[in-house]
Amino acid sequence: MKKLFVVLGFIAAILSAVLAVTPLFKIAYFPSVAALAFGLAALYLSRRKQLPRKSVHLVLLLTLMALTVTTYKAIFNTVEVSDTKDLIQKEDASKQEAIETLEDIEIDE
Amino acid sequence: MFQKLIALIILFPVLGISQNTAIGTNEKLVFSASYNISGLPTEIAQVTMETSKVNTSSSTLMRLKCSAATYSSFDSYFKIRDLYESYVSPKSLTPYLYKRDINEGTYNKFEQYKFNHKSRHVERTMRKKKRSGDIEEKKTVTISDNTRDIVSTIYHIRNFDFQNANPGAVQKFSFLFDNQPMTINVKYLSKETLNTDIGRKECYKMAISLNKSDILKGNNDNLLWLTADANKVPVYAKFKIAVGSGELNIKSASGLKN
């Protein structure tokens, strides 16, 4: 039973760590909560049966790191648009083309 | 899907009125578009709506420009740089030229409509980039009297006289999108006060739906809030589509007419 919890905990912790570094970091909370639950269950079983706890500690450490990164990003991450040079050029070119096109259109205001 | 999403983000309003009293020629509205992932809103793109004056040799028009750009964190996954423009009469917001240049990931498309309101025709040019080579299509479409493009339709709603409208009133508006005539229904629901990035605002709340289209889902799930003042600035929108739901929040507003 402990092994199962450790394996599930590892999977969830790795998933949360991966998600934490992507732009979709907010959804990392879901696997983090699952990893914490599996890790704590495995820790409880290890203590009760006097089993080694190294792998359990690793799961919890990984989860804690993922949670820290996710929370830090949720609080301090600011969104910004960069690389708009092409868009600005496209806008300017489009306006010039449009003015030329509008000369051929009948406008009755 | 993203084309629909972006179009939707840019799409919202429409009601009728002949004179423009709400939109000036130097207005800039900046929005943040969020997509709900497992119930958590994630900001994905910035949407900018800008107006400016354009002079031709014979007339002065207003340029309505809507652009969408993904935030830099998303650029390496799915980069969007979309540009929608409409050149309209500053008095009536009647469109004469509509341009759409979308660049979403590897998907590129250009579309242009030249409106001839006397003969009720639209000359449409479409260019698409494909692996097998570029495609260019030219067609003429017959339109009804009040058919507009999507951008001028968005701005048009802001001239509606909500003060004399009763909650529950529905208005229908026609526009051309992707060469397809579409009808949008706008239902005025109520007045609500919202906290936004431009302050606490009393707003008109509306439900939006499209006829014969599967872009928008749900009943009264697509909502738009316009400030209950002379500018009727869109400050918040909620939309539901096949693959989830999203929001549009105003970040800044400048150059307002009133």
Q: Is residue A37 part of a domain?
A: yes
Which residues of chain B does A103 touch, with a Cβ-Cβ cutoff of 8 Å? Answer: 56-58
pLDDT at B193 exceeding the cut of 90: yes
* Closest B-chain CA to A21: B73
Within 8 A of B63 by CB-CB distance, chain A residues are 95, 98
Which pLDDT does position B15 carry in this prediction? Answer: 40
B74 CA to chain A: closest CA distance, Å?
Answer: 6
Question: Is residue A90 a part of any domain in this protein?
Answer: no
CB–CB contact A108 B54 (8 Å): no
How many domains does one find in chain A? 1
Q: Please state, as a whole number, how many other Cβ atoms lie within 10 Å of the Cβ of residue B161.
A: 11
pLDDT single digits (tens) A16-51: 999 999 988 999 999 999 999 999 999 999 999 888
Residue A64 belongs to some domain of the structure: yes
Contacts of A94 in chain B (CB under 8 A): 83, 85, 99, 101
Task: Determine contact, residues A38/A9, Cβ cutoff 8 Å.
Answer: yes
Q: Which helix (H) or strand (E) holds A20?
A: helix A2-20
Q: Which domain holds residue A19?
A: 2-79
Distance CA A50, CA A48 (A): 6
Phi, psi for residue B247 in degrees, rounded to 5: -140, 155
- In a domain, residue A68? The reply is yes
A98 domain residue, yes or no? no
| pTM for the model | 0.86
At residue A71, φ and ψ (nearest 5 deg) are -65, -40
Among B46, B75, B96, select the one facing A107 at the smallest CB separation: B96
B16-40 mean pLDDT = 85
Terminal C-alpha separation, chain A: 78
Tell me, what's the pLDDT at B67?
95
Q: Alpha carbon of A43 to those of A39, A65, A107, B234: distances in Å?
A: 6, 18, 77, 52
Contact B186, B14 (CB under 8 A): yes
pLDDT in tens, A83-107: 888 899 999 999 999 999 999 888 8
Tokens coding A71 = 């929370």
Complex prediction ipTM: 0.82
